[in-house]
Amino acid sequence: MSSLRRLFPRGDADAAASQPTVATAPAPDGPAAELTARRDALAERFAQLQWDLGGLAYEMARRDHFRLDVLVRTAARLQEVDAELAEAERLLRLEEAAAAGSCPACGALHARGAVFCWQCGEPLIDRQPASGQVAAS
Do 57 and 26 belong together in one domain?
A: yes
Number of domains comprising the chain: 2
What confidence category does residue 60 fall into, taking pLDDT thresholds of 50, 70 and 90?
very high
Shared-domain flag, residues 105 and 63: no
Distance CA 74, CA 80 (A): 10
The pLDDT score that the predictor gives to residue 125 is 77
The verdict on 59 and 80 lying in the same domain is yes
Domain coverage including residue 110:
100-137
81 by Cβ neighbours in 10 Å (0-12 / 13-18 / 19+) ranks as: buried
| pLDDT score of 55 more than 60 | yes
User: Of 29 and 60, which is predicted with more confidence?
Assistant: 60
Pairing of strands 101-102, 109-110: antiparallel
Indicate the pLDDT class of residue 13, thresholds 50, 70 and 90. very low
Can you name the residues that pair with 102 across neighbouring β-strands?
A: 109
Task: Collect all residues with Cβ–Cβ distance below 8 Å to 105 and sequence separation of at least 6.
Answer: 117, 120, 122
- Looking at the fold, whether 15 and 72 belong to one and the same domain comes out as yes
What percent of the chain lies above the pLDDT cut of 70?
66
- How many helices (H) and strands (E) would you count in the chain? 4, 2
> For the segment 62-118, what is each residue's pLDDT rounded down to a tens digit?
999 999 999 999 999 999 999 999 988 888 887 776 667 778 888 777 777 788 888
As a whole number, the mean pLDDT across the chain is 78
Among the listed ranges 10-24, 37-51, 57-71, 108-122, which one has the minimum average pLDDT value? 10-24
- Pair 60, 29 in one domain: yes
Q: Are residues 82 and 33 in the same domain?
A: yes
94 and 104 in a common domain: no
What is the average pLDDT across 28-48? 84
Indicate the residue type of 15: A
